[in-house]
């Protein structure tokens, strides 16, 4: 209960912070239900939905050590259901993401699977069949809010995709900053085949990555694509862009993701966080406002110890030792 209250308070704090307009909020869940005027009922129902299951044992948080200190792995471990997202996994994801947000030593996050040949198969449809429409609405709203929380984390996040990333699994990957896949990966949003639409951000994040027409075709048809297609997909805006950043040999996605994470982990952590903020928020602004945001983010770095350490390391021709101060 304490963890959920912390999560709710944190998400709400982000929403009211005007300097970060894209932060998620539980109030979004409440406001999107026009059929109910009872905020108390909505909050209580969501709270019961998440807390009624036992503590999660299927979302594991692993903090790497030694030279990799600062890199965190979030591992999905539900082999019997191909990492399908049910109430317990959703609760585990919420608690894990909140723990990462509170961890000042965290610099990079990898989201990966411990289940061979699958990243995440999407929603737990067996569990979904037991829910009434109101419960489904609350669950999907909470999932959407959780992925928005993931997207808004202040540090870089990398989805490590081996095998299937379908439905909510792909939507979780879309909420990360980077996506690395093996060539045997299968990605898709098959929801229209179930007479629904992607409800946890897929209709909004996919077109922002691959362009409107490509996203429409994938969502309208529910077509699944392989890792190589995801990498080489031509968009309306950037001909070299794709759904994933790298596609490597099957089984090697984690090694590539760890290579990238280590590279990021060697950089100034405050600088990386400010860069993420400047990019994410700036894309939603006009150029004048975006450049003003860039200036604001840059100014926050001027008086940091890390900036001085970077200059000293350059002058002394050594690797910098950043502390995040």
Q: Which residues are catalytic?
A: 123, 168, 171, 191
Q: Is 120 exposed, middle or buried (0-12, 13-18, 19+ CB in 10 A)?
A: buried
Rg (CA), the chain: 20
Kindly report the three-state secondary structure assignment for every residue of 199-242. Answer: CCCHHHHHHHHHCHHHHHHHHHHCCCEEHHHHHHCCCCCCCCCC
Q: Is 121 exposed, middle or buried (0-12, 13-18, 19+ CB in 10 A)?
A: buried
Q: Are 184 and 200 in contact (CB under 8 A)?
A: no
DSSP codes of every residue in 147-159 = HHHHHT-SS-EEE
- The Cα 71–Cα 54 span in angstroms is 28
Of the candidates 114, 62, 118, 124, the residue with the CA atom closest to the CA atom of residue 91: 124
What is the Cα 77 distance to its own chain's centre? 17
DSSP codes of every residue in 59-116 = EEEEE--GGGTTEEEEEE--GGGTT-B-HHHHHHHHHHHHHHHH-TT--EEEEEESST
The terminus-to-terminus CA distance of the chain in angstroms comes to: 33
Sheet strand arrangement including 118-120: 118-120, 164-166, 186-188, 225-226
Other residues' Cβ atoms within 10 Å of the Cβ of residue 14 = 18
- The Cα 272–Cα 250 span in angstroms is 29
- The Cα 301–Cα 314 span in angstroms is 17
């Amino acid at each position: 209960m304490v963890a959920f209250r912390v999560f709710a308070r944190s998400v709400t704090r982000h929403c009211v912070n005007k300097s970060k307009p894209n932060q998620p909020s539980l109030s979004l869940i409440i406001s999107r239900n026009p059929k109910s005027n009872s905020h108390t009922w909505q909050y209580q129902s969501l709270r019961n939905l998440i807390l009624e299951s036992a503590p999660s044992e299927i979302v594991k948080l692993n903090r790497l050590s030694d030279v990799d200190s600062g890199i965190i792995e979030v591992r999905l471990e539900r082999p019997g259901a191909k990492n399908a997202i049910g109430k317990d996994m959703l609760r585990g994801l919420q608690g894990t993401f909140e723990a990462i947000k509170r961890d000042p030593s965290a610099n990079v996050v990898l989201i990966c699977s411990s289940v061979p040949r699958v990243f995440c198969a999407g929603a737990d449809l067996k569990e979904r069949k037991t829910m009434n429409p109101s419960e489904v609405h609350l669950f999907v709203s909470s999932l959407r809010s959780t992925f928005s929380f993931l997207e808004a984390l202040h540090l870089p996040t990398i989805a490590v995709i081996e095998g299937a990333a379908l439905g909510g699994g792909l939507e979780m990957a879309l909420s990360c900053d980077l996506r690395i896949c093996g060539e045997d990966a299968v990605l898709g949003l098959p929801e229209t085949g179930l007479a629904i639409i992607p409800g946890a951000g897929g209709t909004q994040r996919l077109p922002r990555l691959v362009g409107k027409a490509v996203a429409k075709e994938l969502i309208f048809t529910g077509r699944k694509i392989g890792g190589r297609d995801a990498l080489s997909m031509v968009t309306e805006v950037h001909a070299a862009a794709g759904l994933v950043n790298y596609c490597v040999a099957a089984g090697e996605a984690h090694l590539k993701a760890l290579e990238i994470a280590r590279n990021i982990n060697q950089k100034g952590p405050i600088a990386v966080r400010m860069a993420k903020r400047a990019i994410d928020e700036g894309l939603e602004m006009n150029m004048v406002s975006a450049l003003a945001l860039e200036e604001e983010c840059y100014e926050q770095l001027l008086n940091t110890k890390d900036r001085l350490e970077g200059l000293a390391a350059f002058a002394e021709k050594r690797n910098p030792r950043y502390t995040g101060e």
